Copies of this chain bind each other. A is one copy, B any other.
Amino acid sequence: MPLSKDVQNQRSEQQFKITRVGVTGVKKPIMVKRPWGNVTLNATIDVYVDLPLDQKGSHMSRNVEVTGEVVDRTVREPVSGLEELSAQMCELLLERHDYASYSEVDISADYFRERNLPGGKPSLENYEICSRTEAYRTGVIRRYIGVTVVGLNACPCAMESVRSIYSERYPELKESLERLPVITHNQRNRSQVMIEVPEDKEVEVNDLIDIVESSLSSPTYEILKRQDEAKVVMDAHENPKFVEDVVRDILTRVLAKYNDFPDDAHVEVRSESEESIHKHNAFAERVTTFGELRA
């Protein structure tokens, strides 16, 4: 076989470094250990390194090779989580791309978890988990893990507006209007938390899911018989929330649960409601650190 030129190793004429270069959208099944047995995550993976001033191209097939090696190993030896897998990949990336000073692995995957319905029966619910791992040749590594949860929020503002209109219009029903939740718009909500995990700590995604679900007006469920459905509706209306409330409640619970995380650990929380009364969405976000939250 003739030796072709290594075009990637040529000198780049234009002396600009590249922040991130790699492959995006690689699909892979990953085997992960869970307390109740191994599960297969269908993951979508992005894998990057940086590129110095004087290198023309990155050897992208190495990114896919590293992904293949580390992920395929999970079939024999399931990993404890995406952070472990990503950290292994980041390390190998720096080994194989000797010109790189930085490597990054971003993973997202559907995740299934059994939840108990309001009435007690189990239901298998679908979530999205994601991780981001950034490694520097200096040895510094930053790991982030997060979840996206689809739930339900009911609007507290419209509830008060309707309550006061009905109270004026039907003074004889005042007692009922004060004691029972009043109609309001409610809708599908997509909320997300992502936190930086210090090297000596672990974060369990089920805990993050619990934090988000308990911060919504109500979780949602795949199977709801009539009484369960009523229970979810009543729960949500007894617990109306703005997207701002959802974000603050997640922050409160994150701070309580991970109270030993260092001040410089990063936190991102987002909540987006697919407003039933509008064609657009309502959105709230906090991007911060544990230190700022504690201040």
B18 touches A285 (CB 8 A): yes
Copies in the complex: 4
Mask, A218-257, CB within 8 Å of B = 1, is: 1011111111011011101100001111011101100000
Most chain-B Cβ atoms within 10 A of its Cβ — which of A162, A170, A288? Answer: A162
A286 touches B242 (CB 8 A): no
Contacts of A221 in B (CB 8 A): 277-278
The number of chain A residues with a CB under 8 A from chain B is 116
A283 touches B48 (CB 8 A): yes
Contacts of A140 in B (CB 8 A): none
Could you say which of B2, B12, B188, B225 contacts A167, with CB atoms under 8 Å apart?
B2
Could you say which of B3, B183, B233 contacts A234, with CB atoms under 8 Å apart?
B183
With A and B bound together, what is the CA distance between A156 and B229 in angstroms? Answer: 12
A283 touches B244 (CB 8 A): no
With A and B bound together, what is the CA distance between A5 and B159 in angstroms? Answer: 10
With A and B bound together, what is the CA distance between A281 and B72 in angstroms? Answer: 21
Query: How distant is A110 from chain B, measured CB to nearest CB, in Å?
Result: 5
With A and B bound together, what is the CA distance between A24 and B61 in angstroms? Answer: 32
Could you say which of B1, B18, B168, B188 contacts A247, with CB atoms under 8 Å apart?
B18
Could you say which of B2, B23, B25, B280 contacts A24, with CB atoms under 8 Å apart?
B280
Residue of B nearest to A37 (CB): B75
Interface segment among A52-60, A79-87, A94-102, A192-200: the answer is A52-60
Query: How distant is A148 from chain B, measured CB to nearest CB, in Å?
Result: 11
Q: Is A22 an interface residue (CB 8 A)?
A: yes
Could you say which of B56, B226, B232 contacts A244, with CB atoms under 8 Å apart?
B56
A-B contact pairs, 27 of them (CB 8 A): A1-B165, A2-B164, A3-B164, A4-B161, A7-B157, A14-B251, A16-B293, A19-B285, A19-B286, A19-B287, A21-B244, A23-B281, A27-B110, A28-B124, A61-B226, A150-B279, A157-B226, A158-B233, A165-B234, A170-B176, A181-B183, A183-B237, A185-B186, A186-B187, A187-B274, A220-B279, A222-B280
Question: What 3 A-B pairs have minimum CB-CB distances, sorted nearest first?
Answer: A176-B176, A161-B230, A4-B164
> Interface on A for B, CB 8 Å cutoff?
1-5, 7-8, 12, 14, 16-29, 39-40, 42, 46, 48, 51, 56-58, 60-61, 64-65, 68, 72, 110, 112, 123-126, 150, 152, 156-158, 160-168, 170, 172-173, 175-177, 179-188, 218, 220-227, 229-230, 232-234, 236-237, 242-245, 247-249, 251-252, 272, 274-288, 293
Known: A161-B226, A222-B279. 14 other contacts (CB 8 A): A1-B168, A4-B163, A18-B286, A23-B283, A57-B245, A58-B284, A60-B282, A68-B222, A125-B279, A165-B230, A184-B233, A188-B274, A233-B277, A276-B276
